[in-house]
Chains A and B, each alone.
Chain A
């Protein structure tokens, strides 16, 4: 088992909702040692199961909170509850926020669980990210690669 799991959440056929999968694809291309990269739909049961597979989990998902497109929200799941309704997804309202709170109630949160919410603007049908989201994803990939490489160097 790799110590670090990066999860890209979203649907690449719904424009900016593909921010998470695009970020996961870019991270996977870096083949970082000790890092597993996966793309998930965001369904709750699958997320809770995925959280149990690594002690350090980073989640990347698109957000529609009303902030400027491309804004990156950084949330430490151990610091407090994740705002519901923040992540645009629902299948009987069991998605990322509920999965994190359910994992917390089950005492099954990984030691590190950080969520990066990338503010989207276009969630219409089709592939490709809007310019501000594409730029935010590129910058976040560099930040995460540097962070993970730094963690390896210190390991």
Chain B
């Protein structure tokens, strides 16, 4: 028997610590594991016994790149328990800060983490020597996302201004106006990013995924909607546990999520885009048509194009929110604490982030469940690797390893969130 192994002991350009291990026996893939060895972080246990009002600030610490997703899912779950509706300008400000997070996170991934894969560089720093204008554009696009987060959230990393019912302080209209010129530049630069991304060489690779995302009656989803899928799932967020389960696998400190009925599924930009194309603005749809992905996109390597389309959407949306903004009379809706169970699910940059809390009559958390996007995508990433390696089994090891790492980065995995990742081992035998 001829055995070949491909090992990456420590994956680069992903957040957190993980490894990849692939075994090829006589030309057939017999093992394919995304090994997550970052220590478990026990956030759900930390939350028990804490006040409900602490949940957004505690869960924000799960991730340095998508804290808003955790804050938003937490506040929506608590508001579900207390029967609070946040409407008008406060709701718009929640969408605005989410625009900031999508911009920061997506632009970092497009320009710093994924572009080097396509252009043949080991890092963005090496890429910057040959493509300085491209990198400068990325840095400015990201910085504007940071500025948006700082203005609405109080600071760019782990914002401190989000609370159950709204915010601690709301921005003045004139403060938001200071961002207008940068956001207008960003719309044009995001369109240029879509055009550039569409020119990249994409490995031919498509599978029959079940895409899962939120769907809202009128909006491209951030905070609200029903959970829908490309296979016909259409449920309220509160029914998440009935349709999804988390299981433990020995090679990962992160739980794997599965649809109880059908197994692995796909969350994130491609899922949102394929399920919500009709909710994008005419300008984003036109950019998608020009990029050749308007009919839907099932090639995860093209996720860089879809991420760029979502950056364009976020810049346009941020401008629209600022245009319509009227300063609210109070920064948060008043509410009364009561015991109960609440569910929240919002669209983190990497996909749906589900929270469920039980609180007692004093507002203390008695139980918490958090399902981050990367643990939901992990089985799909492993399935992708298995199919991709099988189709490229004759490629030389260095090329195969490069493409496998790229295939993992298609998902912009956030291992720190999921264990709550990466070394690659390919073993040929």
Q: Which residues of A contact B (CB under 8 A)?
A: 41, 43, 45-46, 48-49, 90-94, 98, 101-102, 105-107
Contacts and interface: CB of A to CB of B under 8 A. Distances in A.
Contacts of B125: 98, 101-102, 105
Interface of B: 13-15, 64-65, 108-109, 112-113, 124-126, 128-129, 132, 135-136, 139-140, 142-143, 146, 155-157
Q: Main SS of the interface on chain B?
A: helix
B124 A49 contact: no
Contacts of A94: 108, 112
B59 to A, nearest CB: 16
A43 B128 CA distance: 18
A41 B65 contact: no
Nearest to A97: B125
B143 A92 contact: no
Given A45-B142, A91-B65, A94-B112, A102 B156 contact: no
Given A41-B155, A41-B157, A105-B129, A92 B124 contact: no
A106 to B, nearest CB: 5
A46 B156 contact: yes
11 contacts: A41-B155, A41-B157, A91-B157, A92-B15, A92-B64, A92-B113, A102-B124, A102-B128, A105-B126, A105-B129, A106-B136
Given A45-B146, A49-B143, A106-B135, A92 B129 contact: no
Nearest to B143: A45
Contacts of B126: 105
A4 to B, nearest CB: 22
A48 B136 CA distance: 10
A65 to B, nearest CB: 20
A91 B64 contact: yes
Contacts of B143: 45-46, 49
Contacts of A91: 15, 64-65, 108, 157
A48 B128 CA distance: 13
